[in-house]
A and B are shown apart, each in its own frame.
Chain A
Amino acid sequence: MRLAILGAGDVGRSVADLAGEYGHEVVALADSTNAVIDDDGIDVEGALQRKRSGEPVGVDDPDDVFEGEYDVLVEATPTTLGDAEPGFSHVERALEADRHVVLANKGPVAERYEEVRALEADSEGSVRFEATVGGAIPALSTVEDCMPENVTAVRGVLNGTANFILTRMAAEGLDYEHVLAEAQDLGVAEADPTFDVDGTDAALKFVILANVLSDGGFALEDAEVEGIQNIPGSALNLAAEDGRTIRLIGEATREGVRVGPRLVPENGPLAVTGTRNIIQIETRNAGSLHSSGRGAGGPETATAVLSDVNRLADH
């Protein structure tokens, strides 16, 4: 497949870098201001080198990407809340041109799911978005394989930063502020970690899951969200007395989405440590399925994008 990649952050760059290995060709790579476009395939190495050294990724206009000869638009621009722009318009333009779209950007499917599906229904192209939930973990494809109507709930830990902080607090008996500073030093937490620690990032992922289970109907404002900022070290110590620990757990069902700190068994499957993520898919006929792995990172998330591209190619 010929890929046009919008967004040249960790994920977009990794998709470009790994595409060849997965049997695909990159015909465009764009960041918000510049693009490199070539219908015969771009020089990925050169473009990534330019990006690394702070030069423009290419001399083309990002808007011209949509005029090129691509099969799949990979949307890897940053997630925005509310109207999910400009990601949503990118999806719209590609589908109106009967091309496929693979999203790494959570915005369009978390905030405007029904509109995306309506555009897809009128298009020859399809939309896939495995990378938006749990990075490398095959969460959505597992739900798809079980068929959403047979899935009763999806629960799990889908934010590595919050999980890292809670794990360190429990292990070292430290308080939130202390561990957050450490996480920032290690590069696990962003300088502004608000989205991670207040539960918003996890909520977006569980909203997407709820949309898949219910075929739409959910946006971020429908989710009940609580963060971990108010959890002191002493709460984790008390939980440990009882063989439990505290994790930022998300739950998506057809009834709603809830994200908040919850008590889970210390040795249970959901008590993953560090930046690891886990997803538990509760099915009607097959019990609970668990899948754990790296929920973030450029190459990890890129593998989810490329799995989607392969599924489109097989269709």
Chain B
Amino acid sequence: MGDEPTPPGDLGTEADGGVRTYTVRLELVDEPGELLAALAPIAENGGNLMSIHHERGNITPRGHIPVEVDLGCPPDRFDDIVAALRETGVNVIQAGAERYGEEISVVLVGHLIETDLSDTLLAIENETSAAVLDLSLSAPQGTGDISSARVRLAIDSGRSEAVFETIRSVSEEKDLTVVEPLLGGDA
């Protein structure tokens, strides 16, 4: 994680031969064999699977399971991979045609409901290049008291500091505490 340049030799954003890392978000029907079927077109089209994030417990609005796949391939093959996935019938909800984006979680603490949580999230999305991927809210004392929310954001590479600045200023207006992730180093 982090917005630092990937060290040479690592399978990072760029490597020998111009291989880049991409993220695709897929929606799978919760049936046996679905994941395997979805991954086959990647390998068959010259993509190198790097990680698969199966969001256990999360269901998309259509009732499917979101899966995030990181893969490495030369840029000219990426479109073929996405096309092959779609041909197989896999729903590709987001294809990282841009450089590898980052996913970052922040925790917000305060009177989240009374200060209009959806307005807070909209402000974050509108004023930055971030997209809210999911949200988890905990209000053990009831919605009128202090509550906490974990917000998972997709951020363009290298843009995290700008996103955090926006989150800080939005939160300051609403007197919210922001717990940011520690980036940098190998935290």
Interface residues of A (CB under 8 A from B): 153, 155, 226, 230-235, 237-239, 241-242, 244, 246, 249, 251, 260-265, 268-270, 280, 282, 287-288
Contacts and interface: CB of A to CB of B under 8 A. Distances in A.
Given A239-B107, A246-B107, A262 B179 contact: yes
B187 A238 contact: no
B49 interface: no
A231 B150 CA distance: 13
A238 B138 CA distance: 7
A271 to B, nearest CB: 9
A249 B185 CA distance: 13
B185 A282 contact: yes
Nearest to A240: B150
B180 interface: yes
Contacts of A270: 182, 187
A264 B187 contact: yes
Given A238-B150, A262-B181, A264-B181, 6 more contacts: A230-B110, A231-B177, A232-B109, A235-B179, A261-B179, A262-B180
B147 interface: yes
Given A232-B148, A280-B187, A238 B107 contact: yes
B30 to A, nearest CB: 20
* Most B-side CB within 10 Å, residue of A233, A242, A287: A242
16 contacts: A155-B182, A230-B110, A232-B140, A234-B138, A238-B138, A239-B107, A241-B150, A246-B107, A249-B182, A260-B180, A261-B177, A261-B179, A264-B187, A270-B182, A282-B184, A288-B186
Contacts of A260: 180
A287 B8 CA distance: 13
Contacts of B105: 239, 242, 244, 263
Nearest to A241: B136
Interface string B138-160: 11100000111110100000000
Nearest to B140: A234
A264 B182 contact: yes
A269 B186 CA distance: 8
B106 interface: yes
Contact of B109 (A155, A231, A280): A231
Contacts of A280: 185-187
Contacts of A153: 184-185
A231 B106 CA distance: 13
Interface string B101-128: 0000111011000000000000000000
Contacts of B139: 234
Contacts of B150: 238-239, 241-242
Contacts of B109: 230-232, 235
Contacts of A244: 105, 181
A84 B105 CA distance: 40
B34 to A, nearest CB: 24
A268 B149 CA distance: 22
A263 B106 contact: yes
* Most B-side CB within 10 Å, residue of A235, A244, A265: A235
Nearest to B137: A238
B185 A263 contact: no
B128 to A, nearest CB: 18
A232 B137 CA distance: 13
Contacts of A246: 107, 179
A237 B177 contact: no
A233 B3 CA distance: 29
A288 B184 CA distance: 10
Contacts of B177: 226, 230-231, 261
A177 to B, nearest CB: 12
Contact of A234 (B148, B180, B181, B182): B148
Contact of A263 (B110, B147, B181, B186): B181
Contacts of A262: 179-182
A52 to B, nearest CB: 43
B123 to A, nearest CB: 20
The 5 lowest CB-CB distance pairs between A and B, nearest first, are A234-B138, A238-B150, A235-B148, A263-B181, A262-B182
Given A288-B185, A288-B186, A263 B180 contact: yes
A153 B150 CA distance: 27
A230 B177 CA distance: 7
A249 B187 CA distance: 11
